[in-house]
Chains A and B, each alone.
Chain A
Amino acid sequence: MSTTGHKTWPKLTSRDEFRFISEQMLKRSTGDHTVVTLHDRHNGTTRFANSQIVQNVDTRCGSLTVTVTFGQRHGTASTTDFTAGAVQEIVSRATEIACLSPEDPEYLPPVEPQSYLTPPAARVETALAGPARRLEYTNEAIGQCRMENLGAAGIVSSSVATVGVAASTGLFAYEERTDARFSLTAQAGEATGWAAAAHRSIDHLKVQERTLTAIAKAKRGLELCELPPGRYTVILEPAAVAGLWSSLLWMLDAKSYEKGTSAFSGKLGRLIVDKRLTLCNLPAHEDLLGVGFTAEGLPTVVSDWITDGALKQLSYDRFTAKAGGIDRIPTLDAPCLSGRGAPLPTLQDMIKHVERAILVTNFWYIRTVNPTDLTLTGMTRDGTFLVENGVIVSAVKNFRFHESPLRAFNRVEAFTNPAEAITSETGKFLVPAMTLSDFNFSSVTRF
């Protein structure tokens, strides 16, 4: 579909316009190689807190970037000004920078023309959504919270972007992308409950359903007890699983692997997590946010990263890939973690069958403590509960965890089918909810 063909305002840079602009820039460049990239975005966010709107914003921002190369010397300049003079200016500036740059031994010429998957990256209903649509969802979330006498804080956002890459090699890639988000923190005094969604289609945010989830968690949080730090069986909801996996996936850089500065060094081909778990990239999956190509114009690809618990893939820059004889660079723009086994339990089944566990809605402020063994820390947030004999008995004060996913995901007791997961600190995943044993909660906070 084409959002730029619809009557939207502001009109984003179309394929033909980008082709024209990039051709002009490529013609004007005197470099051995030139790459032009486009990112033109229109986004709006309605933000609410204390059950009323506190920010309501709409921004249109386009940018053009050009990289010019002479031999192994390269320079990059960008601008948000699309007038002819400004575009000429960045070509000149990138040329000037390239001429003054030292040679880069890792420079590679631009990508040759490629063929791309065409994931359904843009949805017209999202592109056409404006302030009124965001207001409608905001009103719904606030209204439902009010009916339960709860406070509401959250966002509704929608964006549409056109993205392109063109190069002197003949490469040309162009795509429209949309993104819609909803997140809500329902507040019952000190107790909070959270739910969130991200989707290419604003119609799929499930605002009502997710609002009810957040409300239920907040209400359950009214009865609060404090447990001591220690090792607990945990039931991690998908957002909490995504938080830990996001940190793990960040560390798969191939260059670090080869230099011995990665937690995964020496682990390629070996079991790193429970052997029932598999992670793959699915750019065309309708519930993920996959795209057609990378910033360099490489095609995104369906790829296996972890198969039956074994690490199969690393994250490559083009130079390291070439040096390692990797022809097709795998991408990880649409990760899906799944577990082998049937039939798989639901989250409710996992709660029902556990004797004693901590149910975690989400983690917050996850940071690496020790990059050598990938020990992470972070806090539980917005819905942490004690489960005893298959029943949620009370909320518990939030814990700090101190745990390596490389250890934690080797203590998997149960998992569900993959479900949509998004947090304020991660991209979108499909991941199961999971029961893990002996999860290390190192301290407790005051609420």
Chain B
Amino acid sequence: MSAPERDELAELALKRVIASGAEYGDIRLLDSTTQTIRGEDRRIASIRERQDRGFGIRVLYHGAWGFAASSVLSVEEAPRIADLAIEIAKGSASLASEKVKLADEPAHRDSVVTARRIDPFSVKLETKTALLLETMEYVHRQPGIVRSSASLWACRDRKLFVSTEGSRLEFDLLALSGDVDATAVHDGRFASRSFNTPHLRMGYELIEEANFLAEASRIASQAVEKVQAPTTDPGLYDLVLDPEHLSLTMHESCGHPSELDRALGYEANYAGTSFLTTEKRGTFRYGSPHVNLVADNTEPETLAATGYDDDGVACQQWDIVRDGIFVGYCTNREVAPKIGETRSRGSNRADSWGSVPIVRIANIGLEPGRATLDDLFAEVKRGIYIEGHGSFSIDQRRYNFQFGGDAFWLIENGKRTHMVRDVVYHGITPEFWNSCDAVADRSHRRRYGFITCGKGQPGQSGWMTHAASHARFRNVNVIGGSSGS
């Protein structure tokens, strides 16, 4: 669909919304292209390219929402969908006891384009499949490896957002990632190790700059070492967590509880609520003074840095936890006024044209400290160093969590010694973050993206990036990775 055709469709729809007497309306037209190449056990198992086009119209009528969407992009369908969204909003209004009032936001007219050196869709397929096949060959060179997988993923979103308040925003956004996994068997057990590039908004240079072949050899060797490694005794250990591992810990135990819609009960029936209830803002000690968690949707290349969110609110940077005290939420235009904030933080995002935008975790990251990684190890007598993601589970208010990891090494008398397996640690969120006594410096900072963050009914996948340097946590409860007999 050409740009004038998209504008015509948007205008048609929003005219209907305005004529209905609705106080607000917007339309998102999205054209997404996704390419997924998946390798498994030395073969290319699938190459899929998906074109996903459609539009969604949101209407706020007498303080209540309606939303309708369609993959049929036509001048006949646009008014039908607009009318349906209006009708639905009127139905919602019939049960509305508290009317939605949106926080003010200036009208924006802008265009946002992901900076890229190499368009991932311009890179030859043969180049990509050859990379994955060679990567898997490197994995299988390691004796003891029985399975491998490798994949590349790229997504381009071309989006137009137009609102009845006068905003008109165009987006041309890229995101991509690559990964490789190795699985080894030993003595009736099996274990995997993985390497992932972060999901970032970049061009194919992200893949070219990641050394897949070297990483394949490294993880294959570590998978074999891992499956043969001894277990550890349960007990209290000091933990040193790498940035990739911390990205998940932060996501689950800080990101989700800082979503204001959860704190206000919007997700009570599915994703859950939050222990960070609104009266705690500004006073609750979430972590030690070493813990500074900053939401930054302005950092280039990160997934939530899209210029504007799906409310048409400009991306921002703000504190979630400052010097260990919980101070801020992720918000949208609907929920921000409910805690007396005059402007949304710009964290309202939908995962497709067919989904209604909801509050999403921002790019929340742990601010660097002053230590080196060796410093973190040096002050540990008996501890465990954890890299990567493993098993994870957390209660619906985000208190009680349990995390595994992808690789574990024992730390003894200040030195990282040998690998161990089946490590799982358990904690209560504020107790865990209060046990943080050191964070490594900016040179250790790494970013990791998430594209499968589940929330909402119907379910949606949220995208965001979490950055951290390595950090140390004292006396954490480590339990075994088996339920015993």
Task: List residues of chain A with CB under 8 Å of any chain B CB.
Answer: 9-10, 43, 45-63, 74-82, 86, 89-90, 93-94, 97, 100-102, 104-106, 131-132, 135, 138-139, 142, 151, 153-155, 157, 183-185, 187, 192, 194, 259-261, 265, 364-373, 375, 377-379, 381, 398, 400, 402-404, 407, 424, 440, 442-447
Determine whether the beta carbon of A97 is less than 8 Å from that of B125.
yes
CA of A53 to CA of B94, assembled, Å: 9
B106 to chain A, nearest CB (A): 26
The 8 A CB mask of B433-458 against A (1 = contact, 0 = none) is 00000000000000000000000111
B50 contact set on A, CB distance < 8 A: 77-79
Cα–Cα distance between A10 and B72 once the two chains are bound (Å): 10
CA distance in complex: A63, B185 (Å): 40
Given A59-B68, A370-B481, A377-B393, do A445 and B400 touch, yes or no (CB 8 Å)?
yes
B69 within 8 A of A: yes
Cβ distance A45 to chain B, nearest Cβ, rounded Å: 5
A157 to chain B, nearest CB (A): 7
- From 186 to 203 in chain B, residues with beta carbon under 8 angstroms from any chain A beta carbon are 188-190
B91 touches A135 (CB 8 A): yes
Contact present for A49 and B269 (CB under 8 Å): yes
B:60-119 near A, CB below 8 Å: 64-73, 80, 84-85, 87-89, 91-92, 94-98
Known: A76-B48, A77-B49, A424-B270. A138 touches B71 (CB 8 A): no
Q: Within the assembled complex, what's the spacing in Å between the Cα atoms of A364 and B396?
A: 8
B422→A100 contact, CB < 8 A: no
Bound form: Cα–Cα A46–B93 in Å:
12
CB-CB < 8 A to A62: which residues of B? Answer: 71-72
Closest-CB distance, B221 to chain A (whole angstroms)? 18
CA distance A310 to B51 in the complex (A): 45
Which residues does chain B contribute within 8 Å of A375, judged by CB atoms?
481-483
* Residues in chain B near residue A78, CB distance under 8 A: 48-51
**Within 8 Å CB of B272, what residues of A?**
364
- Bitwise, B25-61 to A at CB < 8 A (1) or not (0) is 0000000000000000001111111111110100000
Q: Which of B43, B95, B266 counts the most A-chain CB atoms under 10 A from its CB?
A: B95
Given contacts A57-B356, A184-B269, A442-B479, contact A367 B48 (CB under 8 A): no
Say yes or no: B481 contacts A369, CB within 8 Å: yes
| Closest Cβ–Cβ distance, residue B300 to chain A (whole Å) | 30
Contact across chains for A106 and B45 when beta carbons are under 8 A apart: yes
B168 beta carbon closer than 8 Å to chain A: no
A150 to chain B, nearest CB (A): 12
Chain B positions within 8 Å of A185 at CB level: 268-269
Can you pick out 10 interface pairs between chain A and chain B where the beta carbons lie within 8 Å of each other?
A50-B265, A54-B266, A131-B84, A131-B88, A364-B272, A373-B482, A379-B400, A381-B395, A400-B393, A400-B402
Tell me the B350-372 residues at the A interface (CB within 8 Å): 354-356, 358
Instruction: Note all chain B residues with C-beta closer than 8 A to A97.
Output: 47, 49, 125
Q: Complex: how many Å from CA A135 to CA B96?
A: 12
Q: How far is the CA of A419 from the CA of B66 in the complex (A)?
A: 35
Q: Is the CB of A367 within 8 A of B392?
A: yes
Q: Please tell me if B137 contacts chain A, counting CB pairs below 8 Å.
A: no
Q: CA–CA, A398 to B428, complex, Å?
A: 13
Chain B residues, CB < 8 A from A105: 43
Mark contacts of B259-283 with chain A using CB atoms, 8 A cut-off: 1 yes-contact digit, 0 otherwise: 0000011111110100100000000
Let me know if A56 and B89 touch, CB within 8 A: yes
A76-B190 contact given A57-B69, A131-B88, CB 8 Å threshold: no
Residues of B within 8 A of A59 (CB): 56, 68-70, 354-355
Q: What chain B residues lie within 8 Å of A404 (beta carbons)?
A: 482-483
B288 at interface, CB cutoff 8 A: no
Determine the residue in chain B with the shortest Cβ distance to A382.
B396
Residues of B within 8 A of A403 (CB): 483
Mask, B361-404, CB within 8 Å of A = 1, is 00000000000000000000000000000011111110110101
> B400 contacts which of A93, A94, A371, A443 (Cβ < 8 Å)?
A443
- Please classify the interface of chain B as helix (H, G, I), strand (E, B), loop, or mixed, using the class held by over half of its residues: mixed
Q: Is the CB of A142 within 8 A of B395?
A: no
Q: Would you call B426 and A56 a contact (CB within 8 A)? A: no
Decide if B484 is an interface residue (CB 8 Å cutoff): yes
- Cβ A372 vs Cβ B269 within 8 A: no
B397–A49 CB distance below 8 A = no
List chain B residues, Cβ under 8 A from A94: 49
Closest CB of chain A to B381's CB: distance in Å?
A: 25
A192 near B404 (CB under 8 angstroms)? no
B125/A444 in contact, CB under 8 A: no
Q: How many Å from the CB of B72 to the closest CB on chain A?
A: 7
Cβ contact of B97, chosen from A52, A101, A184, cutoff 8 A: A52
B275 lies within 8 A of A446 (CB)? yes
Interface: B146 (CB within 8 A): yes
Complexed CA–CA distance, A90 and B456 (Å): 31
B95 near A138 with CB under 8 A, answer yes
B147 contacts A by Cβ under 8 Å? yes
Whether the pair B72, A377 counts as a contact (CB closer than 8 A) is no
CB contacts (< 8 Å) of B400 on chain A: these are 379, 398, 400, 443-446
CB-based contact A102/B44 at 8 Å? yes
Q: A135 contacts B95, CB within 8 Å? A: yes
Verify B481–A58 contact, CB threshold 8 A: no
CB proximity of A187 to chain B, nearest CB, Å: 6
Minimum C-beta distance from B329 to chain A (A): 17
Q: A104's contact among B45, B88, B126, B183, by CB below 8 Å, is which?
A: B45
| Those 8 A-B pairs whose CB atoms lie nearest each other, nearest first | A445-B400, A153-B268, A80-B71, A153-B269, A53-B92, A59-B354, A100-B125, A185-B269
**Interchain CB contact under 8 A, B393 and A155:** no
A127 to B73, CA, bound (A): 23
Given A261-B183, A440-B483, A157 contacting B65 (CB threshold 8 A): no
Question: Known contacts A102-B133, A369-B404; is A76 also within 8 Å of B46 by CB?
Answer: yes
Instruction: Pick the residue among A10, A367, A371 that contacts B190 (CB under 8 A).
Output: A371
**A48 and B395 alpha carbons, distance in the complex (Å):** 21
**When chains A and B are docked, how far (Å) is the Cα of A82 from the Cα of B51?**
11
Chain A CB count within 10 A is highest, among B92, B355, B393, B485, for B393
Point out the residues of chain A lying under 8 angstroms from B92, CB to CB: 46, 53, 56
A289 to chain B, nearest CB (A): 16
Cα distance A102–B129 when bound, in Å?
7
What residues of chain A lie closer than 8 Å to B482, measured between beta carbons?
A: 369-370, 373, 375, 404
CA distance A59 to B45 in the complex (A): 32
**B87 contacts which chain A residues (CB < 8 A)?**
131
A155 touches B269 (CB 8 A): yes
- Smallest CB separation, A267 vs chain B (Å): 12
Q: Counting chain B CB atoms within 10 Å of each CB, which of A60, A77, A80, A194 scores highest? A: A80
- Knowing A78-B50, A424-B270, say if A131 contacts B91 (CB, 8 Å): yes
Instruction: State the Cβ distance, B422 to closest chain A Cβ, in Å.
Output: 6
**B73 neighbours in A (Cβ, 8 Å):** 81
A60 lies within 8 A of B269 (CB): no
Given A75-B47, A77-B48: A49 in contact with B268 (beta carbons within 8 A): yes
A63 to B53 alpha-carbon distance, docked (Å): 10
Contact of B51 among A80, A135, A187, A440 (CB under 8 A): A80
Report chain B residues within 8 Å CB of A77. 48-51
A2 and B123 alpha carbons, distance in the complex (Å): 46
- A49-B269, A80-B71 given; A260·B190 CB < 8 A: yes
B426 and A81 contact, CB distance less than 8 A: no
Give the shortest distance, in Å, between B392 (CB) and chain A (any CB).
Answer: 6
Q: A76-B48, A104-B44, A404-B483 are in contact. Are A56 and B269 (CB under 8 A)?
A: no
Given the interface contacts A59-B69, A81-B53, does A132 sit within 8 Å of B457 by beta carbon?
Answer: no
| Interface: B295 (CB within 8 A) | no
- For the A-B complex with A52-B97, A62-B71, A82-B72 known, give 12 more contacts whose Cβ atoms are closer than 8 Å: A54-B65, A60-B70, A61-B69, A100-B126, A102-B44, A104-B43, A104-B45, A153-B268, A369-B424, A402-B402, A404-B483, A443-B400
Bound-state CA distance A50–B49 (Å) is: 41
Q: Check B399–A445 contact: CB distance below 8 A.
A: yes
Residues of B within 8 A of A49 (CB): 265-269
